[in-house]
Amino acid sequence: MARLNVNPTRMELNKLKKRIKVARRGHKLLKDKRDELMKKFIKIVKENKTMREKMEEMIKKAHDSFIIARAIMPFENLEEALMIPKKSVQLNLGNENIMSVNVPKFLVDEVTTDDGNIYPYGLHSTSGELDGAIYNLTEVLPIMLKLAELEKTTQLMAREIEKTRRRVNALEYVMIPQLQETIKYIAMKLDENERGNTTRLMKVKDMMLEEQRT
């Protein structure tokens, strides 16, 4: 591992010791964040799978009901029944912070001309299959929006997990080993200098003693 290009001084050694202390603490915090993100990510992925299966089942029911209604009712009557919707929705976008990741939250405001009645037609002129299709589609809308939230949340969290993983690896396999190697190098150089100074002092002392004898 290549060491940092610094002067082998005691001041630099103290700076590097502080840096490696901060790096190790940052490494631990990032690892904890990565692990917690992974736990939340797995939980959301499982919820996403369940929600998708539920949505697909409800859409299939609605589609099957529409096919039967289309076979029973004349096309003109079906088109007329669905021409003017009884309900409209307004979608508002919010957000939620999960482990420093801003994820979307969809808020739906429903506007209806008749509370409790979701059918935009008279029941006497339509089939029960059409009623079932309208009901299933009305019920599936919140699930579709929740699924959209979960899908986007998993994408954003996967991106954050990858970014955190790269930072953890950079600290663990690059920065901390470099700092360790540099600290070791400076400590070795300082020890060499100290031994050299001690040797010189001993030589000077021997020379002074020799001069005193003569």
Each residue's pLDDT tens digit, 15-67? 999 999 999 999 999 999 999 999 999 999 999 999 999 989 888 888 888 88
Domain boundaries, the chain: 10-205
Query: 201: pLDDT confidence band, cut at 50, 70 and 90?
Result: confident
Sorted by sequence, the CB contacts under 8 Å of residue 81 that are 6+ apart come out as: 73, 120, 121, 125, 126, 130
| Top-ranked range on mean pLDDT: pick from 4-13, 79-88, 124-133 | 4-13
Residues paired with 108 in a beta bridge:
91
Which token pair is 195? Answer: 């031994």
Architecture of domain 10-205: Orthogonal Bundle (1.10)
Angle formed at CA 177 by CA 183 and CA 174, multiple of 5 degrees: 135
